[in-house]
Structure 1
Amino acid sequence: MHAGRKLAGVLLFTAAAAMAQQSGSNASAANETSGTSLTIYNSDLAIARATVDLDLKAGANEVTTSKVTSQLEPDSVVLRDPAGKHPVQILEQNYDAAVATQDWMLSKYEGQTIQFQVTHGDQTQIVSGRILRAPSANEKEPLIEVNGQLQFKLPGLPLFPASTDGLLLKPTLRWKIASDSSEHFPAELSYLTHGFHWNATYNIVSTTGGASTSGDEPMDLVGWVTISNNSGTDFSDAKVKLMAGDVAQVQAAMPRMLAVGKVMMAQAAMPQVTQQSFDDFHLYDLNRSVTLKDRETKQIEFLRANAIPVKRTYVYDGSESTFEPMPGAAYDDRGQGTNSIKTVRIEQEFVNSKANHLGIPLPAGTLRFYRRDADGQMEFVGENSIRHTPEDATVHLTTGNAFDVTGDRKQTSFRSNSDLHTIDESYTITVKNAKESPVQVNVTEHLFRAANWDIVEKSTAFEKQDSATVIFPVTVPAHGQQTVTYTVHYSW
């Protein structure tokens, strides 16, 4: 159980008040003098900081604290005097995160007889049982001998002696500090810890009711941050910042298990969340104290914007071809890329700009769309994830497939001439609209057979999206259809 780690030259930060124990030499209590602060990253990581009052005597000082997380990285700890006046010599540090659990206690008394409290209705009795086998990673069920019989479950609530050797109720840090003289000063301490996570969620609501036509429409947006604490420690009145960006970390050999706890909702109070560029990332400051209990998930509003112009577009990508043009050759199998998918995607986009009442870098997260029906009820109409989006960038995402807008595509001709190194291919694409209003549809085609191509015939003007993709924008009338035809000439 005591998997204590001894490290030279470091001192562990205490998340709340620290406590001291005498150990045959001078003992010092490291008492917190200001609140904890946390910077939480997107991926199971946070840096915790606090100012602690360090009271040292001349000689060796033994200090112990249990106000630490069970997932800290001991070798990440930094202790310094922010004024630079009091150098501190750390002789050693021992950290033990192995907190006593029922399974550990059963293992501790394996082969011994202990008492169990058995309850039947209002009646309680004490029975004795010998622990033949404690639960383990390989054997999840215990084996207990009671009255000469074996059973694969505990007979009742196990009662352990309070004097159990090595009993550890909380993650514990013990360090030894050498000082040439008596010193009393506030020290700045920090460490990295796992068990924290945050992500962003955006709810965007149409203000125009049940309409679902193409083009721009005003929408209101509310952004939330969800913060989870599974570090094993409560943090009371902590100052919290959130770091958005992909910070490189050395991956641990084994995945960490995160506990699932209760969810708390918290409405953000003034002052509002602010953000600033930091290194190659963005740092969001909640600008208020937040209590994060262990195994708790808390949500805080960090963004609100009204009347954002959101553009709805329908996209018919009938082939969804994944082929890439072949340099110096061609895909001459006429059946490749001729599949016809019927669904038409619904795509939404808006610009993250101050002119659109936004302009704050948006951390990655889930964006959900809502719309009011004919009765005025809020209905969910799709969601998707967005990446970290800087100011003035466009948020573009797919929110589902249209029910009343469908497509069909057919290959109408295919001619390949291996001597001339050419291919001529023709398609007819039809988009139907069963809605009460016209819709704008971008018909997307992938020209993958060869790197060199030219559209020699077309019924509709097209836009070149990239070296192998073209878009035919068409307006499909209400209860009508629109047809696109084209012929492409490939050469290599």
Structure 2
Amino acid sequence: MMSCPLAHDWGTIGFVLPAKDEKVMEEVCGMRRWQRYLVEGLGMIILLGLPLHPSGTAKGQGNEHWSTKEHRQSLSLTIYNTNLGLVTERRTVELPEGRVKLRFTDVPRSIDATSVQVKSLTDRDALSLIEQQYRFDPLTPETLLKRYLGKEVILVGTRLEENTETVQSQRATLLSYEQNQAVWKIGSEIVINPSYREIHFPTLPEGLTPQPTLVWLLRNSHAGRQTIEVSYLTEGLDWQAHYVLHIGPEGTQADLKGWVTITNHSGTAYEDADLSLIAGQPRRVSERPSPRYPRAVQTMAAKAPVEEQFAERRFFEYHLYRLNRRTSLPDQQTKQLSLISASDMRLTKEYVINGQRTYYLQRLRPGQPVREEVEVAVRFENTQDNHLGVALPAGIVRVYQADADDHERFVGEDRIPHTPDGEPIRVRVGTAFDIVAERKQTEYQKMADRLFESAFELTIRNRKQQDVTVLVNEPISGDWEIISANYPYEKTTAGSVQFTVPITAQREAVLVYRVRVRY
């Protein structure tokens, strides 16, 4: 009895073969040695043909050369908040003079191959790209089996004899493989899904790659080592801003913390990268639908001091935020980084009632008033005088306030647009519980053809312990005018009017107005 010396290394089963099967054992163990070599060195040895040169530059055989992330000198990421990233990396390569084929690996699955740019930094006129291919036929058990249709492999199984597990190997030809079901020819028999533990393949089929690869045909006039810079666009990189607004107990001051959430679904990892974020809307011509990626789970930031990590500046018609240190973005992961912090901002609360255009086109429900929601919003100025004054990327603002027991409570959230320095910020957080509004149409007359006149009473009851002021926004279509009103109003747009109604605590106010509309 002889044992396979690689059995323990593989950590699977202890193979023990009868002496008469020595030849089979040698064949199986030899193929195990090759398969182990394949797994550990797939992208470097089997596909590349030889190990990396000790100098760390890309080497090859003949006119075919390889460049992997091991040759990388620097990596820069510019991520847009539109599911788009610009990757710029510098690698060292060693190329002969003349026409050279270079395989550039470790690029993302979501790369836009039409955006690739390559140039030599050592000699700017030395390198020119003649032809490019993007190859990504991934090496998986399924693709490997399909490449072996009609070809012979070795199926390895086991059997138990005298409490000893022994290995059995047999040659088989794969006839069909669909939906994880295989049809084999073993000897003279056709077998569906025979019992086996492993499949041994004699060679790796041409074209299968463990990772996406750019294959370039280059014309090179600078023999020897040089540094190249490669840039390309890729989908699957995205970032969003998220804010936490903590309102003080009196409701007149607040602290703001801003975070960026970066997601990487591009298909590769980015290690030790210089990171910049662009806030803005670059126009893109869509040639294909963008893939959808899982939304990252957000967490609330604690009220601890936030380290200023990003330097913000204007860039073209956008704003750029550059991280002041290098960072890594693993594939299929999410990372959160602090963006801004502001304390003791002055803040005001607004109560708003928004009417509807249809109120002036028809009779409202007779016999009962129409209940109106009272929207609650908070408003603050994005200025240095208000302890802020920075360009804020679009994102979600989550609002919190501590209760009487100093327990933090969530009160609402809203999405804000890109907001430059000096602009006000308004965050809608919900509806008021203790302010009740009811609308009643008191008159509706058709004065002439396409001429109507309506009268309304809007009763607003303030059940709070504090005085409030409610803004009433009324959208009105057509050619209109306010005939009378018992509270001040302002024509805010061509199709809307706003009334300002102050209400004493535990009292009510009734807004009465008449409007004439011509359609």
**How far off its partner does 1:242 sit?**
0.5
Query: What per-residue deviation string (whole Å, max 9, x for no partner) do you get for residues 83-123 of structure 1?
Result: 764331223222212322344334334577875889xxxx9
Alignment of 1:161 with 2:161, yes or no, is no
State the match for 1:360 in structure 2: 390
Task: Give structure 1 stretches of 5+ with no counterpart.
Answer: 1-16, 136-140, 324-330
Change in 2 beyond 3 A, CA 1:228/1:479: same
**How far off its partner does 1:362 sit?**
0.9
**Which of 92, 97, 102 pairs up with 2:136?**
97
1:289 and 1:475 mapped to 2: Cα distance? 54
Higher-Rg member (1/2): 2
State the match for 1:328 in structure 2: none
**Which of 97, 104, 107 pairs up with 1:68?**
107
The range that moved more, 192-201 or 84-93, is 84-93
> What SS does the aligned partner of 2:143 have?
helix
**Which of 204, 209, 216 pairs up with 2:245?**
204
**Which of 454, 457, 460 pairs up with 2:487?**
460
Change in 2 beyond 3 A, CA 1:116/1:247: farther
**How far off its partner does 1:145 sit?**
5.7
State the match for 1:439 in structure 2: 468
2:305 and 2:130 mapped to 1: Cα distance? 44
Q: Are 1:242 and 1:283, in contact at CA under 8 Å, matched by a contact in 2? A: yes
State the match for 2:85 in structure 1: 46
State the match for 2:322 in structure 1: 285
Q: Are 1:385 and 1:397, in contact at CA under 8 Å, matched by a contact in 2? A: yes
Alignment of 1:179 with 2:224, yes or no, is no
Change in 2 beyond 3 A, CA 1:341/1:96: farther
Query: What per-residue deviation string (whole Å, max 9, x for no partner) do you get for residues 312-342 of structure 1?
Result: 111112x33379xxxxxxx754459999343
1:93 and 1:268 mapped to 2: Cα distance? 49
Q: Are 2:399 and 2:412, in contact at CA under 8 Å, matched by a contact in 1? A: yes
> What SS does the aligned partner of 1:74 have?
strand
Task: Give structure 2 stretches of 5+ with no counterpart.
Answer: 1-54, 159-164
The structure where helix makes up a greater share of residues is 2
Alignment of 1:320 with 2:356, yes or no, is yes
1:334 and 1:264 mapped to 2: Cα distance? 48
**How far off its partner does 1:382 sit?**
0.3
1:365 and 1:126 mapped to 2: Cα distance? 61
TM-score for the superposition, normalised by structure 1 = 0.80
2:95 aligned partner, one-letter code: L
Alignment of 1:411 with 2:441, yes or no, is yes
1:471 aligned partner, one-letter code: Q
1:418 and 1:260 mapped to 2: Cα distance? 56
CA RMSD across the alignment: 3.8
1:155 and 1:380 mapped to 2: Cα distance? 58
The range that moved more, 253-262 or 455-464, is 253-262
Change in 2 beyond 3 A, CA 1:29/1:203: closer
Alignment of 1:426 with 2:455, yes or no, is yes
Change in 2 beyond 3 A, CA 1:332/1:367: closer
Q: Are 2:144 and 2:205, in contact at CA under 8 Å, matched by a contact in 1? A: no
Aligned pairs for 1:266-305 within 5 A: 272-305=309-342
Change in 2 beyond 3 A, CA 1:33/1:127: closer
Identity of aligned residues (%): 28
Q: Are 1:259 and 1:295, in contact at CA under 8 Å, matched by a contact in 2? A: no
State the match for 1:192 in structure 2: 233
State the match for 2:9 in structure 1: none
Aligned pairs for 1:51-130 within 5 A: 51-82=90-121, 85-109=124-148, 115=155
The range that moved more, 64-73 or 252-261, is 252-261
TM-score for the superposition, normalised by structure 2 = 0.76
Query: What per-residue deviation string (whole Å, max 9, x for no partner) do you get for residues 466-489 of structure 1?
Result: 122122222223333211111113
1:145 and 1:387 mapped to 2: Cα distance? 58
> What SS does the aligned partner of 2:146 have?
helix
1:165 and 1:322 mapped to 2: Cα distance? 69
Query: Relative contact order (C-alpha < 8 Å, sep 6+): which is higher?
Result: 1
2:474 aligned partner, one-letter code: E
> What SS does the aligned partner of 1:285 have?
strand
> What SS does the aligned partner of 1:34 have?
strand
Aligned pairs for 1:216-235 within 5 A: 217-235=252-270
Q: Are 1:26 and 1:57, in contact at CA under 8 Å, matched by a contact in 2? A: no
Q: Are 1:445 and 1:469, in contact at CA under 8 Å, matched by a contact in 2? A: yes
The range that moved more, 333-342 or 343-352, is 333-342
2:508 and 2:83 mapped to 1: Cα distance? 51
> What SS does the aligned partner of 1:70 have?
coil
Change in 2 beyond 3 A, CA 1:156/1:332: farther
Query: What per-residue deviation string (whole Å, max 9, x for no partner) do you get for residues 52-104 of structure 1?
Result: 22433222333223221112122211122457643312232222123223443
Change in 2 beyond 3 A, CA 1:377/1:207: same
**Which of 369, 377, 385 pairs up with 2:415?**
385
1:177 aligned partner, one-letter code: L
Q: Are 2:416 and 2:427, in contact at CA under 8 Å, matched by a contact in 1? A: yes
